[in-house]
Chain A
Amino acid sequence: MDHVLRAVWQPLGLTPLPWLAVTIAAYVLGQMVQRACKGAALANPVLIAILVVSSLLEATGTPYASYFAGAQFIQFLLGPATVALAVPLALNLNHVRRSFHGVGLALLAGSLTSALSGVAVVALLGGGRAIALSMAPKSVTTPIALSLSQEIGGVPPLTAALAIAGGIIAAIVGRTILRWLRVDDWRAHGLAAGVAGSGIAASQVAPLSGLAAAFAALGIGLNGLLTAAFVPLLAMLWPQ
């Protein structure tokens, strides 16, 4: 049995196919679990897929490099997916025009607060430069966060994990915290989810209100542009 498995696996293991299939299947499983949990934010499909794939790699003793040789084809689509964010942005442009000042100021304040406080807390608690810089782009949508982290000398996989974890935190506590602060405006809820938790938090508020969805898309897109502009400056100003 064992050598039959090995005979099948060895030629297949040289192609990207097995780990591609495993990654997609793990994500589909994650979506099924979330649906079974009635859409609970904690049952996040990305988190579930990462845990499933990681345990499979651990169990089969596969190094990350050979996993990534297959899974890189999925990651490649992050490029066109980022370009695609232009579509909701363009569709909602008239909403931004109407609340131009609010969006501009909230974006500037929220984006700077999120990036600077992350870097500051890590630096104060003695984390190194690379870890602190990995924190800076973490509230941006992951494809942008990944390339920014690479650009400024962070650790891209760490940034990706932080972006996903931050998105989950924002999705779980976002509405409670904002209501506690007496913020009762869907535009503010949507924008805050997009700026602080990007796609994961946005997908949590989007089904509740069309207006929240529009402002979450705006938050993701504009926060990406703004953070991409100032985080490299931050890295430049911080000598190695």
Chain B
Amino acid sequence: MASAFAILIGLQLVGEVLRQTLHLPLPGPLIGMALLTLVLVARGSTGAAPEHAVPPSLRQVANGLIVNMGLLFVPAGVGIIAELGVLRREWLAILAGLVISTLLGLAVTGLVMHHVSRIAGRAHRATPQVPAE
């Protein structure tokens, strides 16, 4: 538990330090995430199955944080009160931008993924189908 948390906080710290010293345009936690991915993948490539490359305590703590991630954005979301003035003045641009970009992003990602993997995956035809409701 504690060691897993130390890994996560420690890598966030390393990420922040790297960001500051190398003037990277990436947020510190994201650099930490990339580093942890590299470490876990390197551990997995030494022969262990991917499940064994991740220590159980780390998997448990990571899962707990990810499952409850919603709670972690509540304080920032409440901050929208302070932005109500902006929202009221620019509501049309904000709403249109939000809806259009979300739907376009969703459709483009899904379409490209579906068609490219259908073309690439003809050899091993194991495309899992979404059942109709």
Nearest opposing residue in chain B for A45, CB measure: B70
CB distance from A125 to the nearest CB of B (A): 4
In the bound complex, do residue B109 and residue A196 qualify as a contact, i.e. CB atoms below 8 Å apart?
Answer: yes
> Which one, A6-14, A23-31, A35-43, is touching chain B?
A23-31
Within 8 A of A (CB), among B49-87: 50-51, 53-54, 58-59, 61-63, 65-66, 69-83, 86-87
Task: For B78, list chain A residues within 8 Å (CB).
Answer: 23, 50, 53-54, 57, 64, 67-68, 71
CB distance from B119 to the nearest CB of A (A): 9
Size class of the A contact interface (CB-based, 8 Å): 35 or more
The residue that A64 contacts in the complex, of B81, B102, B108, B110, with Cβ under 8 A, is B81
In the bound complex, do residue B106 and residue A174 qualify as a contact, i.e. CB atoms below 8 Å apart?
Answer: yes
Q: Quick check: is A15 within 8 A (CB to CB) of the other chain?
A: no
Q: Quick check: is B3 within 8 A (CB to CB) of the other chain?
A: no
Task: For B129, list chain A residues within 8 Å (CB).
Answer: 184-186
CB distance from B93 to the nearest CB of A (A): 3
Task: For B9, list chain A residues within 8 Å (CB).
Answer: 79-80
In the bound complex, do residue A74 and residue B109 qualify as a contact, i.e. CB atoms below 8 Å apart?
Answer: no
The residue that A82 contacts in the complex, of B30, B54, B63, with Cβ under 8 A, is B30
In the bound complex, do residue B11 and residue A83 qualify as a contact, i.e. CB atoms below 8 Å apart?
Answer: yes
Task: For B128, list chain A residues within 8 Å (CB).
Answer: 185-187, 209, 211
CB distance from B44 to the nearest CB of A (A): 7
CB distance from B39 to the nearest CB of A (A): 8
In the bound complex, do residue B72 and residue A50 qualify as a contact, i.e. CB atoms below 8 Å apart?
Answer: no
Given A71-B78, A118-B100, A127-B94, A142–B73 Cβ distance below 8 Å?
A: yes
Task: For A200, list chain B residues within 8 Å (CB).
Answer: 70
In the bound complex, do residue A148 and residue B27 qualify as a contact, i.e. CB atoms below 8 Å apart?
Answer: yes
Cα–Cα, bound, A107→B76 (Å): 27
Within 8 A of A (CB), among B103-125: 103-114, 116-118, 120-121
In the bound complex, do residue B90 and residue A156 qualify as a contact, i.e. CB atoms below 8 Å apart?
Answer: no
Give 11 A-B contacts (CB < 8 Å), ordered by A residue: A23-B78, A80-B5, A102-B112, A110-B110, A119-B97, A138-B98, A162-B94, A185-B113, A188-B117, A193-B106, A228-B27
On B, residues with C-beta under 8 Å from A are 5, 8-9, 11-12, 15, 25-30, 32-37, 40-41, 44, 50-51, 53-54, 58-59, 61-63, 65-66, 69-83, 86-87, 90, 92-94, 96-114, 116-118, 120-121, 127-130, 132
On A, residues with C-beta under 8 Å from B are 23-24, 26-27, 30, 44-46, 49-50, 53-54, 57-58, 64, 67-68, 71-72, 74-75, 77-94, 99, 101-103, 105-107, 109-111, 113-115, 117-119, 121-122, 125-128, 131-132, 135, 138-139, 141-144, 146-148, 151, 155-158, 160-166, 169-170, 173-175, 177-179, 181, 183-189, 191-193, 195-197, 199-200, 203, 209, 211, 219, 221, 224-225, 228-229, 232-233
